[in-house]
Structure 1
Amino acid sequence: MARVAETDLYAPVKAFLQAQGFEVKAEIAGVDVMACRDDAPPVIVELKAGFSLALLHQACERLAVSETVYVCVPRQTGRASWKALQANVRLCRRLGLGVMTVRLRDGLVEVHADPGPYAPRRAPRKTARLLRDFARLQGDPNTGGTRGQVMTPYRQDALTIAAHLAVSGAAKGAEVARATGVANATRVMADNHYGWFVRIRTGIYDLTGAGRAAITDRTPAA
């Protein structure tokens, strides 16, 4: 695949802005693209072959001279590239930056976000889940920044159930729930996410060898 140069983006972006009535010039006092129109503030576009921290730094500096600043990168194909673009668009929104992409095969310019003050949309369900998991997690068994090895509330519940079965032997789900305080004990054993439980007969569960080993090990996991 041929290497993309920033200059490959200029002609499509210039044509796009000219079609909206802007006069467009390149490399004005270090600005990649500057566009002016009588009824609008100057538009600044920083061109790069891909998203980078340097690009965001540069674009944020341009906000000191114009409220209308875009970053522009080539449009990539593939699901992973689309997800990465979406994540970068969200970040740029938070910084007050606009985002353009150029499809190099035909010069199509697409605006994914316009510059402007960022007003975050709250996600009450995600907030409620965070608070619920915080309340459910007993103690502070994890180390901040750990990747991959995490003790979750669900795993804690499963370990509590396993420890009870190791002492009591096979038991009904309702009995386990009462004894351990894990209200969804039956569901945890039935789902058997970790392979620790085995159903002996309807409604009655016991430990597997993996379950007994987990009680001894108690290694956090994702």
Structure 2
Amino acid sequence: MAKTQAETIRETDLYKPVHDYLVAQGYEVQGEVNGCDLAAIMGDDLIVIELKTSFNLKLLYQAVKRQRVTESVYVAVPRPKGGTRTAAWREMCMLLRRLEIGLITVALNKKADQVEVHFHPNTFDRMKSMRANKRIRYSIIKETAGRSGHYNTGGANKTKLITAYREQAIHIVCCMMKYGKMSPAQLKKMGTSAKTPNILRDNHYGWFIKVTRGIYDLDDSAREFLKGYPELQQHYMGKISEWEQAQAAAEAEAQAASDDQAENKKAGRKKGKADKLA
């Protein structure tokens, strides 16, 4: 009998469709064999299938235990009402492939039950997976290295995160708090990110006001935000002070070099006059 959405599906409802599917493939099928929901054999080939009305951790435990006796382990669950394009479906498939477990879904319809094998148990190539996700790996490394301190609590959600990008914007905010309206070129000279022009233009946080072409000022919301992160403000104000000291040292060095050059020229002229008198 077909099940409607209002009715409860039992594991036993999944058994007959899967049984009949495997029999049609030429397998000899039995239910509840040594703790396995379904076992199917064809010659020396053994398939074990665990039936569950929903995808859960207990199902994975059972399937992994069955891998002790055969490589051909599948889980069978009702076809999801939300279809196969949801995040939950993709995550389920990713985990099953990682565990080298096959996936079967059963649609209990009025006309005929439908069994679909979405993928078979295959060896998971971990290195291939890492190569395919190298951009994500690089992004994690870059983001981790780009943060100046520990401003986020792991496990928290629905909170404003201090990302490397947000820190770059905060550096710009601190420069403007000290020097007022500035251009991207002036800011980059002070050591802000190479992304400074884009950060100002895109203005994702609403912190910047375009005064005129190439000149930006601060919105009050930027100062208000930084009140909640005094350690961040202190950090970037410290970087600005370091830049100022480096600038002052460079200017002093340049002035000293200029003075030395002028002194050398003066000494050269005196020597020239002395040579003429001699």
TM-score by length of structure 1 reads 0.92
**Cα distance change, pair 80–198 in 1 and its aligned pair in 2 (3 A):** farther
2:55 alignment partner, SS class: coil
- Number of equivalent positions: 219
Asked if residue 196 in structure 1 is aligned to residue 207 in structure 2, the reply is: yes
Asked if residue 31 in structure 1 is aligned to residue 14 in structure 2, the reply is: no
Tell me, which stretches of 5 or more residues in structure 1 are unaligned? none
Select the residue among 18, 23, 29 that pairs with 2:23: 18
Shift of 1:203: 1.2
2:204 alignment partner, SS class: coil
Asked if residue 135 in structure 1 is aligned to residue 145 in structure 2, the reply is: yes
How far apart in 1 are the matches of 2:104 and 2:187?
57
- Provide the residue aligned with 2:114 in structure 1: 108
Shift of 1:207: 0.5
2:157 alignment partner, SS class: coil
- Provide the residue aligned with 2:13 in structure 1: 8
Select the residue among 126, 147, 158 that pairs with 2:136: 126
Tell me, which stretches of 5 or more residues in structure 2 are unaligned? 1-5, 231-278
More strand by share: 1
- Larger relative contact order (CA 8 Å, sep ≥ 6): 1
- Which residues in structure 2 correspond to 1:16-165 (within 5 Å)? 16-38=21-43, 40-78=44-82, 82-105=86-109, 106-120=112-126, 121-122=129-130, 123-149=133-159, 150-165=161-176
Shift of 1:81: 7.1
Task: Report if the CA contact (8 A) 1:159-1:214 is conserved.
Answer: no
How far apart in 2 are the matches of 1:151 and 1:48?
42
Shift of 1:80: 8.1
- Deviates most, 138-147 or 14-23: 138-147
How far apart in 2 are the matches of 1:91 and 1:81?
16
Task: Report if the CA contact (8 A) 2:183-2:214 is conserved.
Answer: yes
Deviations along 1:6-65, one digit per CA (max 9) or x if unpaired, are 111111111211121101111112211110001x52100000000111110111111112
Deviations along 1:182-220, one digit per CA (max 9) or x if unpaired, are 11111111111111111001111110010111222239x
**Which one has a bigger Cα radius of gyration?**
2
Shift of 1:140: 2.9
Asked if residue 209 in structure 1 is aligned to residue 209 in structure 2, the reply is: no
How far apart in 1 are the matches of 2:163 and 2:83?
30
Percent of aligned pairs with the same amino acid = 36
How far apart in 2 are the matches of 1:79 and 1:188?
39
More helix by share: 2
The structure 1 segments of at least 4 consecutive aligned residues displaced by more than 3 Å after TM superposition are: 79-82
- Deviates most, 144-153 or 20-29: 144-153
Shift of 1:167: 1.1
Shift of 1:165: 0.7
Partner AA of 1:6 in structure 2: E
How far apart in 2 are the matches of 1:212 and 1:142?
20
1:180 alignment partner, SS class: coil
How far apart in 1 are the matches of 2:210 and 2:169?
15
Shift of 1:79: 5.4
**Cα distance change, pair 84–187 in 1 and its aligned pair in 2 (3 A):** same
**Cα distance change, pair 11–32 in 1 and its aligned pair in 2 (3 A):** same
